[in-house]
Amino acid sequence: MNSKTLISVLACLSVGVSAGPCKPVTSQATQVTSATTELSTSIDLTTTISASEAASTTELSSQITEESTTEIATTTTAADTTSEAPTTTTEEATTTTTTGAAQCPTPSACNNLGFDWAYYSNPAQNTDTTYSSFVPQSFKQVNPIYIGTTRQIGGLFQPSNAAQSGPIYGSTQDLSLDYFALNHHGYLYTCDAGTYKFDIPYSNDALYLWLGAKAYAGWNSVNADAKALYNQPDHIAGSAHFEIDLPAGVYIPIRFVYGQAQYGGGFTFTVTAPNGQVLVGNDVTASPYIIIIVGAGPSGLLLALLLAQKNIPSVVLESWPHLDTRLRATQYGVPATRVFRRAGILDDIRKASIARFPSICWRRVSDHEKLISLDLSLVEDDPDRMTILPLGEIIQILYQHCLERGEGLIDVKFNHEVTNVGQDDKSAYVDVNIKGEGRIEKARLTADYVVGCDGASSAVRRSLFGRDWPGQTLPYRFVVQNVYYDGFQKHNWDGGNYMVDNDHWGLIARRGKGGLWRVTYGDPVTGLTDEEYLARRPAHMKAMLPGHPDPGQYRIEQTNLYNIHNRCVESFKVGRVILAGDAAHVCNPMGGYGCMTAVLDVGGLADCFIGYYHGLANEDILDKYAEVRRDIFVKYVDPRSIKNLNRVAASDPHTVLETDKFFGILKDLQLDKSDMRAFLLKLSSIEYDFTKHYKSNQKFRTK
């Protein structure tokens, strides 16, 4: 069993533990039938509990919503006892009309992965065949000695003497390992419809299990759905097996109480889904995180948001104390727009963007003549049209959505610098320097997987490959600036303008409201200081901007300088460590392939994780991600981005219209508007649908 086993078991607590991935489906009434008996009942929408009963259930969380409950008719099959649990116990019946009663809360979503558990001292000795002196409900009136949350369930507790103590479930204090009880509870979310199996193959000394409303309140030794009790005189461990048919998409309260008496003991307990996935067990990574994402840039935050839509929790580690505000990408093609729509951020991007971006053209720098253009007005009514917004603003939108929609599922931590990455066959980890005021704390965080989304200077990539990053550094210094200049409007410039010239090539594009333009150019001289490059800027601006202005005629608000590369790692996945976006590959920005490819990386990776964790795909779908996305970069993105660069930087501006094959294609498309529209919206060869590798080919999509 691997570390995804607790995927559907949720403990809705007030502690900082991440939620499980299965997203609930709202249901007004759902039929539930026992697998071992012909009895059946509807999910109880009216079951209530008394105020006193609710008060005694101290493990309940303020984070759950008070909605419907589930009451299940079941038959228990056990080694020692067989009992049929009634749909409503006497205790429950006496409280349903109590003044001040409230519905048993069932969450519409849950933000903690694992079980809440409480540790108690247990006074009951085991002296008979059924451990009759152990009364699980007695602990309702006792304050626990320790409480916590765990993804690991069960184990052996074998003290060498009665006074021995030690940690349980990773507790921060040692607890007595003799004469104690453990009370576990949470919600079981049913990803799939079918028969769920609850197995207690070993119990020493007692384990009681409850499902449904009575697991929330009213639970006692009589109405347990399964019980496994140690036969002390004959030294026979207890065991039990219980099955039930459950519908998909509901949260079901679950509770089990373990009692340990003299001479050590322990228990094993598993829950198995209809597809064979083991949801609960003791061989689980004891980490609150399923996925660690390194880097709170566009790739990392977008991945976290896509995963959170399917209730897959993640932590995002950012070394900086704030979000990245550097000048980078500003336009994103149709493939990226589709992913933004899936993530639920496209509407906010459109609101922040300029109203119209009518065209993209190529101009000769010497006379500013348009060589050829793409008429984007042909698709301005299409929801998947190109997206225009500075990347820093998109990052802000992503972060806000993570805070608002990812509560309990996305934990973004700033000042967390990853220094090393490691793994074993069950988990991956990162070593982190946590930077505070005048001090640095070191920590190790563990999860099922680590995903490096930490950009071109990726610490995750360096941990895997050192300085080995095949590719090339291009012979230009890239200078990017935000510019306000009234000459753009005066000379009727709009949209995006690729400037074709060997000395002053680049891109000039309208990027924001209020007359904001982005001017980007590549300086062909290498080896200068930043100050020397900026001293050369007026000459570039005079050549490229309409009207050939001097510095006093325009205003520059922000500038960033970059080296540009085309590089790609040998593998996007090494065991449980995965790379995406600029951490895996980079390309020059001409044509907008860099950020768009990163967006498609994490969109595809999210589909792979969703398929795996929801039981729709095997773990090797993550290998398919690594294979396909790298192949796309090597075959398409890398060579196309180089061609885009050479088209503006190394072509003859006076003959390129006749010699460049891409321009020839555009000239043909200009003859038919319907052909041009289809070209602008077509499925790109850099897109890939990983849901085709799902077992059932069932696709999870967010509208």
What is the CATH architecture of 9-280? Sandwich (2.60)
Q: What pLDDT does 36 receive?
A: 27
At position 48, the amino acid (one-letter code) is: T
Q: What is the mean pLDDT of residues 326-350?
A: 95
Q: Kindly indicate the confidence band of residue 546, based on its pLDDT and cuts at 50, 70 and 90.
A: very high
Q: What pLDDT does 514 receive?
A: 82
Q: Is the pLDDT of residue 58 over 70?
A: no
Q: Kindly indicate the confidence band of residue 305, based on its pLDDT and cuts at 50, 70 and 90.
A: very high
Q: Is the pLDDT of residue 534 over 90?
A: yes
Percent of the chain scoring above 90 in pLDDT: 61
Q: Is the pLDDT of residue 358 over 50?
A: yes
Cα 447 off chain centre by: 12
Tokens in use for 687?
């897109």
Q: Is the pLDDT of residue 476 over 70?
A: yes
Q: Is the pLDDT of residue 474 over 70?
A: yes
Q: Which residues are paired to 565 by β-bridges? A: 473
Q: What is the mean pLDDT of residues 542-547?
A: 98
Q: Is the pLDDT of residue 30 over 80?
A: no
- Choose from 42-46, 133-137, 173-177 the range with maximum mean pLDDT: 133-137
Q: Kindly indicate the confidence band of residue 105, based on its pLDDT and cuts at 50, 70 and 90.
A: low
Place of tokens 């950012």: 318
Q: Name the region of 65 (left: φ>0; alpha: ψ -120 to 50; beta: rest).
A: beta
At position 599, the amino acid (one-letter code) is: V
Tokens in use for 309?
């839509």
Q: Which of 214, 216, 209 is nearest to 182 (CA)?
A: 209
Q: Kindly indicate the confidence band of residue 588, based on its pLDDT and cuts at 50, 70 and 90.
A: very high
Q: What pLDDT does 203 receive?
A: 86
Tokens in use for 405?
């929609």
Dihedral sign for Cα atoms in the order 157, 159, 165, 170 = negative
Q: What pLDDT does 224 receive?
A: 96
Dihedral sign for Cα atoms in the order 64, 137, 81, 266 = positive
- The terminus-to-terminus CA distance of the chain in angstroms comes to 34
Q: What pLDDT does 94 receive?
A: 30
Q: Kindly indicate the confidence band of residue 23, based on its pLDDT and cuts at 50, 70 and 90.
A: very low
Cα–Cα dist 503/507, whole Å: 13
Q: Kindly indicate the confidence band of residue 701, based on its pLDDT and cuts at 50, 70 and 90.
A: very low
Q: Kindly indicate the confidence band of residue 437, based on its pLDDT and cuts at 50, 70 and 90.
A: confident
Phi and psi angles of residue 475, each rounded to the nearest 5 degrees, phi first: -80, 50
CATH of 291-693 among 2.160.20.60, 3.50.50.60, 3.40.50.620, 3.30.565.10: 3.50.50.60
Q: What is the DSSP letter of 100?
A: T
The greatest distance separating any two alpha carbons of the chain, rounded to the nearest whole angstrom, comes to 100
Q: Kindly indicate the confidence band of residue 512, based on its pLDDT and cuts at 50, 70 and 90.
A: confident
Phi and psi angles of residue 357, each rounded to the nearest 5 degrees, phi first: -135, 85
Q: What pLDDT does 650 receive?
A: 96
Of the candidate ranges 85-94, 365-374, 612-621, the one whose mean pLDDT is the lowest: 85-94
Cα 491 off chain centre by: 46
- Decide: 663 and 656 in contact? Cβ < 8 Å: yes
Q: What is the mean pLDDT of residues 213-242?
A: 89
Q: What pLDDT does 268 receive?
A: 86
Q: What pLDDT does 159 receive?
A: 58
Cα–Cα dist 150/491, whole Å: 66
Q: Which of 290, 299, 304, 365 is nearest to 656 (CA)?
A: 365
Q: Is the pLDDT of residue 75 over 70?
A: no
Could you read off the pLDDT of 628-639 as tens digits, one per residue?
A: 999 999 999 999
- CATH 2.60.120.1560: which residues of the chain? 9-280
Cα 368 off chain centre by: 46
38 or 671, which is more confident: 671
Q: What is the mean pLDDT of residues 318-323?
A: 96
Q: Which of 493, 509, 543, 498 is nearest to 329 (CA)?
A: 509
42 or 399, which is more confident: 399
Convert 544-569 into a string of H (helix), E (strand) and C (coil). Answer: HCCCCCCHHHCEEEEEEEEEEEEEEC
Could you read off the pLDDT of 375-428 as tens digits, one per residue?
A: 999 999 999 999 999 999 999 999 999 999 988 789 999 999 999 999 998 899
- Decide: 317 and 294 in contact? Cβ < 8 Å: yes
Exposed / middle / buried, residue 49 (Cβ in 10 Å: 0-12, 13-18, 19+):
buried
Convert 641-686 into a string of H (helix), E (strand) and C (coil). Answer: HHHHHHHHHCCCCCCHHHHCHHHHHHHHHCCCHHHHHHHHHCCCCC
- CATH 3.50.50.60: which residues of the chain? 291-693
Provide the Cα torsion 403, 405, 406, 408; round to 10°: 90
For residue 659, what are the CA distances in angstroms to 182, 647, 655, 676? 77, 10, 6, 21
* Helix or strand run (H / E) with residue 422: strand 416-423
Place of tokens 């995750």: 460
Q: Name the region of 256 (left: φ>0; alpha: ψ -120 to 50; beta: rest).
A: beta
320 or 9, which is more confident: 320
Cα–Cα dist 377/333, whole Å: 15
DSSP track, 606-654 = HHHHHHHHTTSS-TTHHHHHHHHHHHHIIIIIHHHHHHHHHHHHTS-TT
Q: What is the mean pLDDT of residues 54-69?
A: 32
For residue 375, what are the CA distances in angstroms to 475, 608, 673? 32, 36, 9
Q: Is the pLDDT of residue 49 over 70?
A: no
* Helix or strand run (H / E) with residue 194: strand 194-204
Phi and psi angles of residue 295, each rounded to the nearest 5 degrees, phi first: 110, 115
The CA radius of gyration of the chain, in Å to the nearest whole number, is 30
**Beta pairing class for 410-413 and 314-317:** parallel
- Decide: 342 and 306 in contact? Cβ < 8 Å: yes
**What does pLDDT average to over the chain?**
82
Percent of the chain scoring above 70 in pLDDT: 80
- Choose from 244-258, 573-587, 611-625 the range with maximum mean pLDDT: 573-587
Q: What is the mean pLDDT of residues 660-680?
A: 95
Q: What pLDDT does 288 receive?
A: 59
Q: What pLDDT does 71 receive?
A: 32
Q: Is the pLDDT of residue 1 over 70?
A: no
Cα–Cα dist 434/414, whole Å: 9
Q: What is the mean pLDDT of residues 563-573?
A: 97
